[in-house]
Structure 1
Amino acid sequence: MTLTEFAQYARSSSSRERPDDVSSALARRSRVQARVREIGEPVNESAARSEKHDVTVLVVDDEPNLLELVASAVRYEGLNVMTSLNGRGAVDAARTTRPDVVILDVMLPDLSGFEVLRKLHEIDESIPVIFLTARDAVEDRIAGITVGADDYLTKPFNIEELMARVRGLLRRSRHWVEEEHDPTVVVGDLMLNEDSYEVTRGGDEIKLTATEFELLRFLMRNAKKVMSKTQILDHVWHYDFGGEVNVVELYISYLRKKIDHGREPMIHTVRGVGYVLKPAV
């Protein structure tokens, strides 16, 4: 699911209602990997680490579906994410690992978002907080900013706007530095350009579909590391195939035909674990 699809979902959703097709996708997604634990337990998604940024975002919302969508958008940005379904879990998570930004609902089952913000600022008053809430009255916005929030966004919302505000707060707190991007990824004689979407091996151009390109990019960005089918589903399809790992096997076979056919193989199966891409020997 891309950020554009996140935005379409957010625009079409109220804070308490979900379209049937989105609910089905979320149900399928949960079979791939349970991202949200029991209510109150913060989940540290430390595996999603950025090569460029060591930044953690804490997302707090009592709606599991919305919580996971926002967390997925944060991971899509290459940032670490922690999640909590209630206020006390959020405060406990912040005590354990100081977040660089908090995305916080106001209406939580135990503490109000305003109370959570006060407790967060007792831990560290410099933690930036964005309220993300269905409470859209002017007096609510004023109250949110008055108690110390850095930003206030109402539901339904645009996920791209939310992430832009997160980046703005990170820049303001000097945790986000725009770095020069090198679009070229090279593994052995295989080269991929993320800007032009060109792929070559040994100088020969290879035509890939959009999904094949994303799969190859993920494998190349993790060259010499064994990637499980679940990890591939998570990062390439963003759970949309609901645990159907055979789609990974299918697209790996497509890539092998285009990347390895007639050449020394670069894509290898590690039985019972997953796949690894490494330079040909």
Structure 2
Amino acid sequence: MKRILVVEDEPSIVTLIKFNLEQAGFFVLTAEDGNTGLQLAVDEKPDLIVLDIMLPGMDGIEICKALRQEKNMTPIVMLTARDDELDKVLGLELGADDYLTKPFSPRELIARIKAVLRRTKQDDKPEIENRMTIGELTIDTEKYEVALRGKPLELTPKEFELLIFLANHQGKVLSRDQLLNGVWDFEYDGDTRIVDVHVSHLREKIEDDTKQPKYIKTIRGFGYKMEGP
């Protein structure tokens, strides 16, 4: 039975989510403040976390950041009462796997949870090389490490996943929709700007000159292509 941690401070929402998740066959843990939620995430090792952004104590963004900095890759579905573009971009950039804005239907939440669990199940992932070298970039997919000319780079989880996806399709032109579906595996309100944000941040870390990138090339009017210099 999959274990879901729900970190939410509104009792009525906790009750609604807990009831529906249990009906769907999940075991549910709950926390009503950020500090307790983070502790449970570390101690109980749930299969997925449903994480509200606005929380007493640590907020959801801080919890997500703290977990990812410790290489805790537990899937996270974030919730917020605000339909705020900045919140969405920031939450996903820090490593959240999906995002729902309140109010939402329990059916939609369960569908998203199941989709994220399918996507992150290790046994379902295609076989890929553990180590790849592209130009002066070295990518270790097993250790989640990237180095440029031997110097380790600090990438967010989503930046790393984006880099791997591009590297596995080296030389192929990928549209923004293909990248969105391949890396995030859901439609981000029909808005592909999240892809451009992550490509921009990734370029800042792997390119010597972001205006004339060697690795991630922009294909005007379509998308991006990764190739060796």
Normalising by the residue count of structure 2, what TM-score does the alignment of the two structures yield?
0.51
Aligned ranges for residues 105-116 of structure 1 at < 5 Å? 105-116=52-63
Query: Letter of the aligned partner of 1:152 in structure 2?
Result: Y
1:82 aligns with 29
Larger Rg: 1
Q: Tell me: CA distance 1:161–1:120, structure 2 relative to 1, closer, same or farther (3 Å).
A: same
Aligned counterpart for 1:118 among listed residues 57, 65, 76: 65
Aligned to 1:128: 75
1:225-259 residue CA offsets vs partner (Å, 9 max, x unmatched): xxxxxxxxxxxxxxxxxxxxxxxxxxxxxxxxxxx
**Structure 2 residue aligned with 1:65:** 12
The question of whether the paired residues in 2 share the 8 Å contact of 1:100 and 1:175 is answered with no
Q: Aligned residues: percent identity?
A: 38
Match of 1:153 in 2: 100
Q: Which runs of 5+ in 1 are unaligned?
A: 1-53, 178-281
Query: Which one of 103, 107, 121 corresponds to residue 50 of structure 2?
Result: 103
Preserved contact between residue 55 and residue 175 of structure 1 (Cα < 8 Å): no
Structural mapping, 1:264-275, within 5 Å: none
Aligned pair in 2 of structure 1 residues 124, 99: CA closer, same or farther (>3 Å)?
A: farther
CA–CA separation in structure 1 for the residues paired with 2:2 and 2:39? 18
Aligned length: 124
**Partner residue of 1:93?**
40
Give the superposition deviation at 1:123.
Answer: 4.7
Instruction: Specify the code of the residue in structure 1 equivalent to 2:83.
Output: D
1-structure distance, mates of 2:123, 2:114: 7
1:153-193 Cα offsets, whole Å, 9 max, x none, are 0001111011000000111122899xxxxxxxxxxxxxxxx
Q: Which structure 2 segments of 5+ residues have no match?
A: 125-229
Q: Distance in 2 between matches of 1:66 and 1:162?
A: 12
Give me the whole-angstrom Cα distance separating, in 1, the residues matched to 2:68 and 2:24: 25
Residues 76/135 of structure 1: CA separation in 2 closer, same or farther (3 Å cut): same
Shift of the 57–123 alpha-carbon distance from structure 1 to 2, 3 Å rule, reads: farther
AA matched with 1:158: S
Stretches (4+) displaced over 3 A: none
Amino acid paired to 2:84: A
